[in-house]
Amino acid sequence: MDFALSPDAVAYRNLVRTIIADTVTNEAIDEIHRTGTFDLPALNFALAKHGLLERAVPGMGKGDPIELWILFNELEKAGAPYDGIAVSLMIAGVVNAVGTEEQKQRIIPSIVTGEAGVCMGYSEPDYGSDVASIVTRAVRDGDSWIINGAKMWTTMAHVAKWLILLTRTDPDLPKHRGLTMFILPMDTPGITVKPVHTMASEHTNATWYDDVTVGDEAVLGEVNGGWRTMTVALAFERGVMGGTNQGVPLLTHFTKWAQHVGLAQDPAVKVEMAKAAIDMHVSTLLTQRAAWIAASGGLPGLEGSMAKLFATEAYQREARALQHVAAQPGLLGFHEDGAAAEGFIDYDARHSPVTTIYGGTSEIQRNNIAERHLGLPRNR
Amino acid sequence: MAFDLGFTADQTTIADLFNGFFTNESPAEVARAAEPLGFNANLWQKALGLGVAGMAVPEQHGGGGASLSDAVIVAEAVGASIAPIPVVEHIVAARAHPITDLVEGNVIGTVALTPAVDGTWSYVPAGAIADIVIGVDGNEVVAVRSSAPGVAPRNHACQPLAHRSSRHGDRTVLGNVSSFERIVAEWNTLTAAALVGIAQRSLDIVVQYVKERHQFGVPVGSFQAVQHGLADLPGLIDGSRILTHKAAWASQPEVAQVVEPEFNEYTDFKVVSSMAFLFAGETAVHATDRSLHFHGGYGFSEEYDIQMYYRRARGWRLIAGDPRNEYVALADKMFGDN
Ligand SMILES: Cc1cc2nc3c(=O)[nH]c(=O)nc-3n(C[C@H](O)[C@H](O)[C@H](O)COP(=O)(O)OP(=O)(O)OC[C@H]3O[C@@H](n4cnc5c(N)ncnc54)[C@H](O)[C@@H]3O)c2cc1C
């Protein structure tokens, strides 16, 4: 095995680091935690200006999966907000893979210039892990489709320009076969967005659809082929586009603070720091493997599941362990006097629980690995 | 160089050769029969026939010129079959002290992992059977040739361990104490590989078992509690394997030795080999624990193989001492001692 990045990849990484250093200021990070919107237009535009967004769209042939991994890994290590661009680039990749020429021309440029974000409407109030059972309906009416229903956890819906929406078009077919994906502008009449506040800084949304009317130009992929479009989206995302190294900035903040207050001398604390560093390095290697498989033309679905499962569980362990050793100062929030790691101990202990829930819960990843990797009999 | 997580064609050949060899020559009965000492001289002779003694010694010293990465592949095969022969220790000793007897395997070599105290190395792995022990005595790294005791105290993993003298016998000074760090890093890397082999094989064994064992009219492997108890393991094992190969890769002179925690960048051989040893150790302990548990009562019986894997996962790791000390030393290398 050879772990050296090519000179091109190193140059690319250095460019990403420069852009991050220029745009992801402490003030910007502060603002994101205040608003709960994990998106930074200045960063998106700077990446777009250097052509990096376009280059990173999965499957578009300009970037490669190793670059995609580098981009998101650098962003998350720096604690930069990437949730918005990750979804947007992934959906640009889906449009590129299954969209019509007209959709590609209408939608992709707005994303890769950093102007337009995309939000995802898959989950519903009653269907999360079992997303193939969703009930939001799209009904044919002449040349149009009329959509009615409700979605839950539509993150970024309050700022996004585009919405990718999973609907049921044929309730009589088996659940995976009667779904259709749409992509439509968020300002289409009939869409209502209300905020959902979470225990971490993140702000997400509940959305409602009342007689939302669109034409065939909004159908992404085949009618009743929505599950296939979902599969393409998941394959791009799994493991490669961030979410596997969030413990790195936490450890950096913690180390700085623990050295400053003298806690880092304690052997018990050193043990936790070393464990956290190892876990984060293994997380990155598992993610690199998924990227490498994708770069070699494979579909790293299972390897992505393994990376996501390990990395998010490890991040939670780390957040818990570091909060324990930080003791009372680890309870204090941002800007409080004496807060451990400038408040990041508190923040990561609040944020880490969601990482084993969204993007497919740990249980769903384990089902996947048990059945498809270990070949154990299906239990449902 | 370019990023590549696959094996070279040569490495695929090495993997096939050694996996085949250990599957044929060292099924679990061989390890069982070798208990309690943990050594089978006949198997060792056969392994010498494959050139295992000097394979990873540079050609100019009469060795096979294989890399540490190649040796990692062999060590994983040893771990998978829990073969009762000191491949890891001997390879490390032969690389540190490439004299003809070690390179050709006329004698067995090993390394003492902790410095001698009052002229004694304690808990030397393969110490019961090795003719040459390499270790730290005072400020020096020395190789001491003396007769092997041939017996070991009864122990958890049935390892041929022994206390050995660093003074009595034919004594050669190999270098300054600082040169031992690399020797330990190589032992960490190859032991990590052997632990990966233990973890992978114990998972393979239990997956087979839970598909065949029925309770309540269905295979026990169809219960979600069992599935989820096993589903974490592939990621841990694959992560251990890649990390171990990264350590071997980092041992090459052309790799810049980087330690940058804030970028999660580590290419320093001592750091990555320590990480690999610790992580593969935790993984092997956890994997064998889960694998034994999902055998139910049979896992606890001597007749089943999984208990041998369980004990070796612990023994092969703890022979280096309390892992907390290794974590602390690693933290000092990564973050500085302040
Ligand atoms: C902050 C946040 C942002 C999100 N952003 C988006 C977004 O932008 N777009 C979007 O569409 N969705 C989004 N989600 C939704 C997310 O994908 C779902 O929360 C997730 O899929 C889990 O679904 P659920 O919350 O309905 O939990 P449920 O599916 O109800 O699960 C409850 C519990 O049961 C377990 N469980 C469920 N099924 C099984 C099974 N078969 N075997 C074993 N255990 C099982 C789960 O693991 C979980 O622990 C977001 C969620 C959060 C919290």
**Is the omega angle on the peptide bond into residue A195 within 30 degrees of 0, that is, cis?**
no
Instruction: Find the mean pLDDT for residues B239-255.
Output: 98
pLDDT computed for residue A239 by the predictor: 60
pLDDT computed for residue A61 by the predictor: 62
CA distance linking residue A371 with residue A302, whole number of Å: 10
Q: Would the CA dihedral through B178, B184, B186, B192 be positive or negative? A: negative
Residue keyed to tokens 């001997």:
B90
Residue keyed to tokens 């991050």:
A20
Instruction: Find the mean pLDDT for residues B87-94.
Output: 98
Quick check: A275 contacting B, CB < 8 Å?
yes
pLDDT computed for residue B184 by the predictor: 98
Quick check: B147 contacting A, CB < 8 Å?
no
Least CB–CB distance from B331: residue in A270, A365, A376: A270
pLDDT computed for residue A57 by the predictor: 87
Lowest mean pLDDT segment, chosen from A230-239, A301-310, B169-178, B301-310: A230-239
pLDDT computed for residue A352 by the predictor: 97
Instruction: Find the mean pLDDT for residues B159-169.
Output: 98
To test the pocket of ligand 1, the residue of A357, A364, A369, A376 to mutate (highest count of ligand atoms within 8 Å of its CB) is: A357
Contacts of A271 in chain B (CB under 8 A): 324, 327-328, 331
Q: How far is the CA of A285 from the centre of ligand 1 (A)?
A: 26
pLDDT computed for residue B338 by the predictor: 67
Q: Which of B287, B193, B26, B285 is nearest to A374 (CA)?
A: B287
CB contact under 8 A, A267 and B324: yes
CA distance linking residue A70 with residue B176, whole number of Å: 41
CA distance linking residue B56 with residue A289, whole number of Å: 27
Tell me which amino acid residue A312 is.
T
Q: For chain A, where do the domains classified as CATH 1.20.140.10 start and end?
A: 238-373
CB contact under 8 A, B3 and A292: yes
Question: Which contiguous run of DSSP H or E holds residue B202?
Answer: helix B180-212
**Phi and psi at residue A255, to the nearest 5°:** -60, -45
Burial B210-229 (b: 16+ CB within 10 A, else e): bbebeeeeebbbbbeebbbb
Tokens of A263: 């806690």
Ligand 1 pocket by C-beta < 6 Å: which residues? A 120-123, 128-129, 153-155, 198, 202, 204, 354, 357-358, 361, 363-364, 367
- Render pLDDT for B273-304 as a digit per residue (tens, 0 to 9): 999 999 999 999 999 999 999 999 999 999 99
Q: How many CB atoms are closer than 10 A to CB A260?
A: 11
CA distance linking residue B232 with residue B238, whole number of Å: 11
Least CB–CB distance from B327: residue in A270, A365, A369: A270
CA distance linking residue B57 with residue B69, whole number of Å: 13
Tell me which amino acid residue B20 is.
G
pLDDT computed for residue A238 by the predictor: 60
pTM of the predicted structure, to 2 decimals: 0.97
Say how many Å lie between the first and final Cα of chain B, rounded.
36
pLDDT computed for residue B329 by the predictor: 97
Contacts of B7 in chain A (CB under 8 A): 1
Those residues whose C-beta lies under 8 Å from the C-beta of residue B35, and which sit 6 or more positions away, are B158, B308
pLDDT computed for residue A63 by the predictor: 61
CA distance linking residue B94 with residue A40, whole number of Å: 56
pLDDT over 80 at A2, yes or no: yes
Q: ∠ CA B198-B200-B203 to the nearest 5 degrees?
A: 105
Residue keyed to tokens 């670059």:
A67
Q: For chain A, where do the domains classified as CATH 2.40.110.10 start and end?
A: 119-224
A 301-340 residues inside an 8 A Cβ radius of B: 303, 306-307, 309-310, 313
In terms of C-beta distances under 8 Å and separation of at least 24 residues, what long-range contacts does B59-64 make, across chains too? B61/B98, B61/B103, B62/B98, B62/B100, B62/B103, B62/B104, B63/B94, B63/B98, B63/B103
Looking at 3.30.310.50, 3.30.420.10, 1.10.540.10, 3.90.25.10, the CATH number of the domain A7-117 comes to 1.10.540.10
B 10-69 residues inside an 8 A Cβ radius of A: 69
Instruction: Find the mean pLDDT for residues A196-213.
Output: 96
pLDDT computed for residue A64 by the predictor: 77
pLDDT over 70 at B50, yes or no: yes
Q: For chain A, where do the domains classified as CATH 1.10.540.10 start and end?
A: 7-117
pLDDT computed for residue A295 by the predictor: 82
- Render pLDDT for A314-353 as a digit per residue (tens, 0 to 9): 999 999 999 999 999 999 999 999 999 999 999 999 999 9
Q: Name which residue leads in pLDDT, A170 or A233.
A: A170
Averaged pLDDT score across all residues of chain A = 94
Instruction: Find the mean pLDDT for residues B189-201.
Output: 98
Alpha helices, DSSP H only, in chain B? Answer: 9-25, 28-33, 41-49, 68-80, 87-96, 100-103, 180-212, 224-231, 233-250, 269-293, 306-318, 323-335
CA distance linking residue B173 with residue B97, whole number of Å: 10
pLDDT over 90 at A373, yes or no: yes
- Render pLDDT for A72-103 as a digit per residue (tens, 0 to 9): 999 999 999 998 999 999 999 999 999 999 99
Q: How close does chain B come to A238, measured CA to CA in Å?
A: 14
pLDDT over 60 at A50, yes or no: yes
Tokens of B61: 């010293």
Q: How close does chain B come to A318, measured CA to CA in Å?
A: 15
Tokens of B300: 């606890």
In this prediction, residue A298 has a pLDDT band, given cuts at 50, 70 and 90, of confident
pLDDT over 80 at B337, yes or no: no
Share of chain A above pLDDT 70, in %: 98
- Render pLDDT for B51-65 as a digit per residue (tens, 0 to 9): 999 999 999 999 999
Quick check: A289 contacting B, CB < 8 Å?
yes
CATH code of the region A119-224: 2.40.110.10
Residue A28, strand partner residues: none
Q: Which of B161, B201, B176 is nearest to B80 (CA)?
A: B201
CA distance linking residue B196 with residue B19, whole number of Å: 14
CB contact under 8 A, A374 and B230: yes
pLDDT over 70 at B1, yes or no: no
B 209-248 residues inside an 8 A Cβ radius of A: 210-211, 218-219, 221-224, 226-228, 230-232, 234-236, 238-240, 242-243, 245-246
pLDDT computed for residue A59 by the predictor: 77
CB contact under 8 A, B327 and A274: yes
pLDDT over 70 at A179, yes or no: yes
CB contact under 8 A, A306 and B235: yes
CA distance linking residue A49 with residue A75, whole number of Å: 17
pLDDT over 80 at A62, yes or no: no
Least CB–CB distance from B279: residue in A282, A363, A375: A282
pLDDT computed for residue A83 by the predictor: 87
Burial B243-280 (b: 16+ CB within 10 A, else e): bbbbbbbbbeeebeeebebebbebbbbbbbbbbbbbbb
Q: Which of B142, B102, B92, B95 is nearest to B121 (CA)?
A: B142
Instruction: Find the mean pLDDT for residues A359-366.
Output: 95
* Atom number, ligand 1, closest to the C-alpha of residue A380: 41
* Residue B208 DSSP class: H
Question: Which contiguous run of DSSP H or E holds residue B316?
Answer: helix B306-318
In residues, how long is chain A?
380
Looking at 3.40.50.150, 3.90.660.10, 3.40.50.2300, 1.20.140.10, the CATH number of the domain B181-335 comes to 1.20.140.10
Answer yes or no: are the C-beta atoms of A242 and B302 closer than 8 Å. Answer: no
Q: Where are the domains of chain B?
A: 181-335
* Atom number, ligand 1, closest to the C-alpha of residue A120: 9
Write the burial class of residue B326 (CB in 10 Å: 0-12 exposed, 13-18 middle, 19+ buried): buried
Looking at 1.20.1090.10, 3.90.870.40, 1.20.120.160, 1.20.140.10, the CATH number of the domain A238-373 comes to 1.20.140.10
CA distance linking residue B282 with residue B274, whole number of Å: 12
Q: Please, what is the angle between helix A65-77 and helix A267-295, to 10°?
A: 160
- Render pLDDT for A133-173 as a digit per residue (tens, 0 to 9): 999 999 999 999 999 999 999 999 999 999 999 999 999 99
pLDDT over 80 at B211, yes or no: yes
Averaged pLDDT score across all residues of chain B = 97
- Render pLDDT for A258-277 as a digit per residue (tens, 0 to 9): 999 999 999 999 999 999 99
Residue of A nearest to B323 (CA): A271
CB contact under 8 A, B238 and A251: no
